[in-house]
Amino acid sequence: MVADVLEAFTAALLLEDQDGRHLKIVALQSLSDNVAVSLQLPMDGGFWTKLVRGGVPYHETYFEGDSARLGIYTSDEGIRAFMTAPVGEKGLLWVDTRRTYSFTAKHLKILVELAATAVNILKLAAMASDAARSARELDLIRELVPEFAELSALDNRGLDRACALILETGGLDGVLTVSRVDERNLFRITASAGFPSWVRKGRLVKCDGGLMSWCMENRLPKLSVEVTPGEEPPVVFHRGEKFGFEAKTLAIVPWTDAEGDGAIVMASSRPNWRLDENRVWWESLGKVLALVNSVAFQQEVLGGIRRYDGESGLFSEGYFRAETRRVFARSSAAKGSLVLLLVLIADMDRIYLENDHALVNRFLETLADQLEGITRRSTVAGKFRTGGLALLLEGLPPREMDRLRDNAAAAFCSGVIQVGTEELRCDVRVAAAHYPSECADLAELWEKALNKLETSSSIE
């Protein structure tokens, strides 16, 4: 529109780059084949700086110099006049002509109005870009924060996937997360994306004088957007560290959660102004990641606790049943054998009523220890009901099952369990069933063992 209205030879919109050091062409209409489209006009206080920062339009009449020296063209185009108008504080609208030695006052007024229009267009573009960025950021948050029920199933608590997503969304070259191992400032890399193979998950890194030490000590994030010429690159952990590239942009967001101290490190081999322009977002992103990691860690801990019976210390009833299904599936697929050994304290209700809770706990722990000690084979041990403990063993023939059952009977043959300095009398019953000699599937294995248990006599 500028070129048509003002009958220009060349009309160009120039904007400062992100670091404010150069002007670049972002829109162009020209009759010349010699426009330096990829030009970088220096903003070092000279000619172009005055045009942009002056805040007023400029009109050069009877121009007889070499137009190539202006920087717009790669060779002289015989320009006779040109005029410019600032576009906001960081842009310039350029118009030149070969038809006349000057523009009119009306032309200059039109140019100023068109420059104002360009400002509004750029504002709309920025708003659209911000909206698109916000949408991307919200999408990233949605992907990082799963449904609560899915947290415990996240691989590596979601850190691997989070690093990959942040790497892609942020236009970065490397993203990693770390957790502090101890107070000596030793850190373990918990996830890594974009870095070379040696910056791998599980590697221990000593932190000595780097920015990570400062972040942990002050509990604050640190952002370094650009390294000035002659300045040493920022140090994350220690001097001499190797990330596979020299970091020109670096962001570290520390956190403290249920597992301890951790942080996310975001790095780029070039100035990344997206980090600086929206640093609050990236800092918040680190906190979101810390929250997801913390909740997933707590679910792991709780899940581990739920696996075990609080009294005997063996697998809980539900988890033991699940383990028997897993072991049976593996054994049957390999055409192996299984033995299910059950031990029942028939008078468990009486023991609960007649003794304090601490003594009963020690009694059950002692019973569990003795049960696991009757064989040197690898076993799965757990609770199958109140007062009922069980062992599941693979690879035993029927005759070995009989010997195992006899060993269990011998361990409890007196009907008395020594608990520290005290003795507890108990009615113990033992039974065992064998797969595949006595049953065809897991349900029958349990049914066979329980039936034998009901018909077995007390061990006196």
Instruction: Assign 376 to helix, strand or coil.
Output: coil
Give the CATH H-level superfamily of domain 2-125.
Answer: GAF domain (3.30.450.40)
Coil, strand or helix: which one is 59?
A: strand
CB 154 within 8 A of CB 299: no
Q: What is the pLDDT of residue 144?
A: 65
**Rounded Cα distance, 387 and 222, in Å:** 57
- 384 close to 345: Cβ distance less than 8 angstroms: no
Q: Which residues of 243-267 are buried (b: 16+ CB within 10 A; e: fewer)?
A: bebebbbbbbbbbebebebbbbbbb
**Which residues pair with residue 432 across a beta bridge?**
341
E strands, 269-387, are: 338-345, 379-385
Superfamily of domain 148-301: GAF domain (3.30.450.40)
CATH fold of 317-455: Alpha-Beta Plaits (3.30.70)
Identify any residues that bridge with 393 across adjacent strands, giving them in sequence order.
Answer: 339, 379
What is the model's pLDDT at position 445? 93
The pLDDT value given to residue 298: 62
pLDDT for the residue numbered 390: 92
Question: Sign of dihedral through CA atoms 294, 295, 300, 306?
Answer: positive
Question: Along the chain (460 residues), what's the average pLDDT of each consecutive run of 10 residues?
Answer: 90 86 89 87 85 89 90 91 91 92 91 88 74 64 62 69 82 88 83 90 87 87 66 79 82 79 86 66 73 66 65 85 89 91 91 90 89 86 91 90 87 80 88 93 93 71
How many C-beta neighbours within 10 Å does residue 39 have?
A: 17
pLDDT of the residue at 459:
42
Indicate if 317-455 has the same CATH topology as 148-301: no
Tokens 């913390």 map to which residue?
294
**Which candidate, 355, 418, 407, places its Cα nearest to that of 379?**
407
- Domain boundaries along the sequence of the chain: 2-125, 148-301, 317-455
Give pTM, 2 decimals. 0.45
- pLDDT for 460: 35
Closest CA to 248 of 270, 280, 278: 270
Are the C-beta atoms of 73 and 31 separated by less than 8 Å?
no
Q: Which long-range contacts (CB under 8 A, 24 or more apart) does 53-57 make?
A: 53/86, 53/89, 54/86, 55/86, 56/86, 57/83, 57/84, 57/85, 57/86, 57/108, 57/111, 57/112, 57/115
The predicted pLDDT at position 140 comes to 67
For 275, residues 6+ apart whose C-beta sits below 8 A from its C-beta are 170, 223, 225, 249, 251, 266, 268, 282
The Cα–Cα gap between 19 and 226 comes to 9
